[in-house]
A and B are shown apart, each in its own frame.
Chain A
Amino acid sequence: MPILNYIYLCLTLFSIGVIGVLVRRNAIIVFMCIELMLNAVNLLLVAFSKMYNGATFANAPTSTIGIDAQIFVFFIMVVAAAEVSVGLAIIVMMYRNTHSVDINFLNRLKN
C-alpha cells in the first residue's frame, strides 16, 4: 500500500477535525474533534513507522527500526487521556457557572 494513501486519509480526518473545531459551538464536540485530530496523527505515525520498517524488512525481518513512532503513539494516548480528564472537569465547571456549554459565552477575559 503506498504511503500516500495513508497520508491522504489522515489529512482528510485531520481536516474534518479542524472544520469541526471551527464550525461547532458546543464545547464538548469541539473537544471531541480535537480527539479526532489526535487520532489522525496517531494513524499517520504508525503508517510511517511501518514504512521505515518495511524498507529493511526484506534484509532483516526482525529489525526494530521504526519502533519509536509506535512508542510515540503510546505517549500521545497517555497525554490525551490526561488532557481529557482535566478538560472535561473544566467544561463541567463552566456548565455549573453559566448553565451552557456554548463556547461563545466564554468571552469574559475580553474586558
Chain B
Amino acid sequence: MNTLEILFYALSAFAIVSAVMVLISKNPIHSVLWLILVFFAISGHYILLNAQFLAIVNIIVYAGAIMVLFLFVIMLMNVKKDQEPKKQHLVKFIGVIAGGSFLTLLIALVKQTSQLQGKTVLLKEGTIGLIHPLGKALFSDYVVPFEISSVLFLSAMVGAVIIGKK
C-alpha cells in the first residue's frame, strides 16, 4: 500500500465519518462545522487528483462563503437545540432503510457495469486541473455559459434581497 492509497482511504474515512456526524449531531451549529470538515476532506481529494483550482475554489466558496452564510442564518434565528419531537423513530428508521436500499441498488448497478471494470484514475499527475488550461477552456469554449452564470448571480442577488425585505 503506497502513500497515495493511504491518503485516499484516510480522506475517504474522514469524509464519511464527518458526513455521518452532520446527520446525527443535535446542535445545528455542530452540523455546520462537521460539514465544513467534509468539504475539507473533499478538497483533499481534489488535491490528490491534481485538480488544484477546484480544491482552492471548493475551500473558498463552500467552506468560506456558503457555510459562513449558514452559520449566520443559524445564529440569526437562535435555533439552539433542535425542537424536533421525540416520537419520530419510525420515520427515522424508514428513512435510513430507504437510503440504505438506494445505496445498495446503486452499488449493485455499478458492480455489474462492464465498462468501468479495470479503469483507473490518474492521481497526482496530469495538467488539466491547473489554472492555465482551465482558464483557457473557460474563456474560449465556455465563455457564453460563464456570462450567463453572471446573470444568474445577479438575479439570485436581486431575489434574495426582495425575499428578505418582505
| A residues whose Cβ falls under 8 Å from a Cβ of B | 1-9, 11-13, 15-20, 22-26, 28-29, 31-33, 35-36, 39, 42-43, 46-47, 49-51, 53-55, 57, 61-62, 64-68, 70-71, 73-75, 77-86, 88-93, 95, 100-102
Contact = CB atoms under 8 A, between A and B. Distances in A.
Contact of B138 (A5, A71, A86, A95): A71
21 contacts: A2-B119, A2-B120, A12-B16, A16-B99, A19-B100, A23-B96, A26-B28, A28-B74, A50-B122, A50-B123, A53-B128, A54-B120, A57-B126, A67-B128, A67-B137, A70-B128, A74-B54, A75-B145, A77-B57, A82-B156, A91-B73
Chain B facing A: main interface SS: helix
B54 A46 contact: yes
B20 to A, nearest CB: 6
B73 A7 contact: no
Interface residues of B, number: 85
Contacts, number: 233
Contacts of B50: 50
B38 A39 contact: yes
A42 B110 CA distance: 18
B144 to A, nearest CB: 12
Contact of B15 (A9, A15, A84, A101): A9
10 tightest Cβ-Cβ pairs between the two chains A and B = A54-B122, A19-B99, A22-B95, A82-B156, A15-B103, A23-B95, A89-B163, A89-B160, A16-B19, A85-B160
A45 B134 CA distance: 15
A17 to B, nearest CB: 8
